[in-house]
Amino acid sequence: MIEVENLTKRYGPTLAVSDVSFQVQKGEILGFLGPNGAGKTTTMRIITGFLSASAGRVRVAGFDVAEAPMEAKKRLGYLPENPPVYTDMTVAEYLAFVGRIKGVPRGELKKRIGEVSEKCAIADVQQRQIGRLSKGYRQRVGLAQALIHNPDVLILDEPTSGLDPKQIIETRELIKGLAGQHTVILSTHILPEVSKTCQRVVVINKGTVVAVGAPDELTARLQGYGTVLVTVEGPAPEIMGKLQTVRGVNLVEPLEAAGARVTLEVHTEKNYDVRAELARAVVESGWGLFELKTSGMSLEDIFLKLTTRDLSEEAAAQAELPAASGEAVN
Amino acid sequence: MRNILTVAGKELRSYFHSPIAYLVMAVYAVLCGFFFYSFTATYVVQTFRMQAMGGAGMPNMTINDYVIRPLFEGVLAIVLLLLIPMITMRLYAEEKRSGTIELLLTSPLTDLQIILGKFLGAFLLFGTMIVITFGFISTLFIYGNPFAKPLIAQAVGLILFGGALLALGMWISTFTKNQIIAAVVSFAAFLLFYVLNWVTAYSNGAVSRVLAYMSLTTHFSTFAKGVVDLKDLVYYLSVIVLGIFLTARSVEALKGRV
């Protein structure tokens, strides 16, 4: 549904987006992650036709955004980071205007406004001037305008920003409900949201794609080792020595000590569960076992790891990860 | 076409939602009214004096020459130079500032549709100002007997003159997010074009004649006299087209760089 090929955007000497490629299947929700300044918004602006690319191509529903902009834009709904609302219009006026310019047939306009307002919970503020609405309401009006013409593709830049927790959950449900019917690219900083709503994720940093794949795939791929946290009461050096001997354990590191108890971080072989053996080792030696749990890599860790590595690590990582572009061709 | 009208409708609605439209119309009505009153009063007094003196050796003073024409030439040309920037300043500057330009440029509208829609919206607001002008002038018909025919030329001239300024003002508004800058630069540009005319006062070479020809106001004089000259028509229409063309190029540049 969306094909981004070798997208590059240059601003004078700076390369904002460099050779970015990925695809989104029909009905999929793709998460777009990256630190600030990574090129997410620039990429989205190129996909929606706001900016022109310096090189590369974007196709939406088969239409090249640069060569057939009218056709592509008819099928696109876009919510930028700041909802593009006219503050002097009322909600109803605004939605009517957007509906008209997006090509909603005159006869259906009123119905569509009603439907989309219900969906986005703005039915009760139809006659209020947008300038007088709270940020949360404005955000929802922005979402409504992206949906009003029932586009095939939705590009959402931080759709839950400014919303309260209840609204965030509602919006998340709304977006999840869109999968299947609509194809969605969702850019966000809120990482837990990604694992809850997105089926696949593209991680972008400094203008290049760093990783593509399903959130758990990435976790599995990037976790070079398993981690188990164990809290034991007893003499630290001896405990560490004993645990080191357990099969599958690579490294034992002390984390913290509280009185006689010490918490250790045990690095194990990938995908090997040493917990039972660790427990046995501790108990058989006569020490008190207080806590034992696995501690995996959260999406935050993945994100940070992917986006703060230095160049030498990157070279090593390239060898380790399957090529990102290979992954992108579904 | 439907898109152009939608955009024009939105612009008009925005104008009337803010104090700008009312302010512009009010200021225009007051200035226009004041000068209209002065010219008419002067005319009345002078014609009475002439009659008292027997009217010998005095030129034929028509209302057209002594009220309507000075009104168009002197007041309108200058007043519009100041007020049209106030109309055009928001056209692109406000969209850029509030981010709504992103909405327009990502919707299935061509750049030209957006430009023509905005131009039309601004032009319709300008149209209300023309109506006010002719409101004043129509009172002359009740109490006097001016020639009606020259008025057609003067109306056409006014419409074209305003249109040219609107197109240029719209172009200037694409350069900034700040409406005030757009207004000030537009006014400065219009003023510059106005005084290009003055070159002929001190120079008569080829260059100065070209510059004088380029002035927006020289071409208005023929219309003000009541004559529709093709070359002046072409001049104003060219400026309108130029303004629209330049706006289109500027919007393209916007998409390339933001």
Range in B75-79, B134-138, B151-155 with the lowest mean pLDDT: B75-79
Residue B224 pLDDT exceeds 60: yes
Report the CATH number at residue A210.
3.40.50.300
Q: Residue A325 has what pLDDT?
A: 42
What are the structural domain ranges in chain B?
2-257
CB-CB contact of B154 with B67 (8 Å): no
Chain A residue set in contact with B, beta carbons under 8 Å: 11, 45, 48-52, 69-71, 73-74, 76, 78, 80, 82, 84-89, 93, 97-98, 100-103, 145
Over residues B246-256, the mean pLDDT reads 92
pLDDT tens digits for B20-55?
A: 889 888 999 898 889 888 988 888 888 888 777 776
Residues A215, A229: one domain? no
Q: Residue B90 has what pLDDT?
A: 92
Confidence of residue B225 (pLDDT cuts 50, 70, 90): confident
Nearest-5° Cα angle at B148, B142 to B152: 130
Looking at beta carbons, which residues of chain B come within 8 Å of A147?
none
| Cβ–Cβ gap B6/A85 under 8 Å | no
A68 lies in which domain range? 2-75+151-220
Overall pTM > 0.90: no
Single residue among A184, A201, A220 that ends a domain in this structure: A220
Token pair recorded at residue A91: 């909600």
Q: Residue A312 has what pLDDT?
A: 40
CB-CB contact of B243 with B189 (8 Å): no
pLDDT over 70 percentage in chain B: 96
Whether residue A119 is contained in a domain is answered as: no
Residues A157, A214: one domain? yes
Report the CATH number at residue A252.
3.30.70.3190
* Nearest-CA distance B109 → chain A (Å): 7
As for how many domains chain A has, the answer is: 2
Residue B187 pLDDT exceeds 60: yes
Q: Residue A297 has what pLDDT?
A: 62
| Cβ–Cβ gap B105/A49 under 8 Å | yes
Residues A228, A180: one domain? no
Task: State the SS3 of A54-114.
Answer: CEEEEEECCEECCCCHHHHHHCEEEECCCCCCCCCCEHHHHHHHHHHHCCCCHHHHHHHHH
pLDDT tens digits for A54-90?
A: 999 999 999 999 999 999 999 999 999 899 999 999 9
Mean pLDDT of chain B: 87
Angstrom distance (rounded) from CA A122 to CA A114: 9
Looking at beta carbons, which residues of chain A come within 8 Å of B108?
69-71, 73-74, 101-103
- pLDDT mean values, one per 10 residues, chain A (330 residues): 91 88 91 85 93 92 92 94 93 95 93 93 92 90 94 92 83 84 87 80 87 75 72 87 86 86 83 82 90 73 66 48 42
* Nearest-CA distance A222 → chain B (Å): 36
Residues A163, A272: one domain? no
Partner residues linked to A157 by β-bridges: A187
Looking at beta carbons, which residues of chain B come within 8 Å of A153?
none
pLDDT tens digits for B192-221?
A: 888 887 777 777 787 877 888 888 878 888
Nearest-5° Cα angle at A124, A118 to A127: 115
Single residue among A188, A220, A252 that ends a domain in this structure: A220
Range in B96-110, B143-157, B171-185 with the lowest mean pLDDT: B143-157
Q: Residue A23 has what pLDDT?
A: 92
The label of the residue with tokens 């007051």 reads B30
**B99 or A194: whose pLDDT is higher?**
B99
| Cβ–Cβ gap A48/B98 under 8 Å | no
Q: Residue A275 has what pLDDT?
A: 85
Q: Residue A225 has what pLDDT?
A: 67
Q: Residue B85 has what pLDDT?
A: 95
DSSP A179: B
